[in-house]
């Protein structure tokens, strides 16, 4: 099993000292059977007044940070080590009743999944739904695993990845029309596409390991990454990364899950001062596999 290390640094710079409001960080990976946190260190400059940890409504670890002193620079740095167990597709272990689409979730599960099954964006012409339904078999029954993998690969192969400095996630209909977007855009688009088919889906933010930093084969490295999960009876929440065409958790380090991307912003906060004081921010993420770490 490989051991991954993550260094994540975010720096805000200002032309004059400003006062900082509360900041919330989602940098700490979720502990689970497929990734086990070995070590985690958080450093903040200037020295915060208080750092407290909470679990949000989704069970994500959130650091809530309060400040007392003004400064011209605000820096957050985390160092993480974790044991990662890759799960390779298409070993889905789906319940027999859900092996073919369409199927219905068990009523007990459906009650808890209902919010993740609802589409979140207007689409009067159901264009996203029509795009998704083109991958259904004309015979009326489509293999569930094959359908979801095909959707994931179709986005990877026919949409163009493009970094964007503006905050937020573009609406799925815009992503469909542009056929271009960031990892967050593609994750949200796939979520809305599978929700149009009746699947439960949720947003995931975290990190991706790029085997060669100079390689263009894996996209989304050097910053936080985003993908989605789809709930399959018997298999649970399965990872789909449409940006890189990854099915399963290979090279993906899960930090937070949410119903909507706005609920999984890695770092948010405020400052008191003139808008013109803000000089910009830099984000640097380095994900490495430790030498000698073995992968099953």
CATH number for position 255: 3.10.620.30
In a domain, 272, yes or no: yes
The pTM (predicted TM-score) of the whole model is 0.92
In a domain, 296, yes or no: no
Q: What is the CATH number of the domain that holds 10?
A: 2.60.40.2250
Indicate if 272 and 237 belong to the same structural domain: no
Indicate if 58 and 165 belong to the same structural domain: no
Number of domains in the chain: 2
Indicate if 175 and 279 belong to the same structural domain: no
Indicate if 145 and 216 belong to the same structural domain: yes
Indicate if 132 and 74 belong to the same structural domain: no
Indicate if 221 and 281 belong to the same structural domain: no
Indicate if 146 and 176 belong to the same structural domain: yes
Indicate if 224 and 143 belong to the same structural domain: yes
Indicate if 78 and 144 belong to the same structural domain: no
Q: What is the DSSP letter of 164?
A: -
Would you give per-residue pLDDT tens digits along the chain (296 residues)?
789 999 999 999 999 999 999 999 999 999 999 999 999 999 999 999 999 999 999 999 999 999 999 999 999 999 999 999 987 665 678 999 999 999 999 999 999 999 999 999 999 999 999 999 999 988 878 999 999 999 999 999 999 999 887 778 999 999 999 999 999 999 999 999 999 999 999 999 999 998 764 344 455 556 799 999 999 999 999 999 999 999 999 999 999 999 999 999 999 999 999 999 999 999 999 999 986 555 44
Range of the domain at 74: 3-84+265-289
In whole angstroms, give the CA distance from residue 158 to residue 153.
8
Closest among 283, 288, 290 to 8, alpha carbons compared: 283
Indicate if 38 and 141 belong to the same structural domain: no
């Amino acid at each position: 099993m490989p051991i991954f290390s993550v260094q994540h640094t975010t720096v805000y710079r200002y032309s004059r000292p400003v006062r900082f409001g509360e900041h919330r960080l989602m940098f700490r990976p979720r502990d689970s059977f497929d990734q086990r946190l070995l070590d985690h260190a958080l450093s903040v400059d200037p020295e915060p007044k208080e750092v407290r940890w909470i679990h949000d409504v989704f069970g994500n670890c959130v650091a809530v940070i309060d400040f007392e002193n003004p400064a011209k620079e605000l820096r957050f740095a985390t160092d993480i080590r974790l044991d990662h167990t890759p799960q390779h597709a298409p070993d889905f272990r789906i319940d027999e009743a859900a092996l073919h689409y369409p199927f219905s979730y068990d009523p007990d599960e459906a009650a808890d999944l209902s919010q993740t099954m609802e589409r979140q964006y207007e689409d009067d012409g159901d264009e996203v739904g029509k795009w998704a339904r083109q991958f259904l078999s004309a015979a009326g029954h489509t293999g569930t695993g094959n359908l979801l993998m095909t959707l994931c690969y179709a986005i990877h192969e026919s949409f163009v990845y493009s970094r964007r400095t503006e905050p937020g996630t573009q609406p799925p209909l815009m992503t469909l029309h542009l056929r271009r977007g960031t990892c967050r855009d593609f994750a949200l688009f796939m979520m809305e596409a599978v929700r149009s088919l009746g699947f439960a889906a949720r947003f995931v933010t975290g990190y991706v390991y790029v085997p060669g930093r100079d390689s263009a084969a894996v996209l989304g490295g050097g910053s936080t990454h985003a993908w989605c999960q789809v709930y399959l009876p018997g298999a649970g929440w399965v990872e789909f990364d449409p940006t890189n065409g990854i099915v399963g958790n290979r090279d993906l380090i899960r930090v937070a899950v949410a119903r909507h991307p706005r609920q999984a912003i890695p770092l948010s906060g405020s400052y008191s001062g003139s808008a013109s004081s803000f000089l910009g921010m830099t984000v640097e993420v380095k994900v490495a596999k430790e030498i000698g770490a073995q992968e099953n």
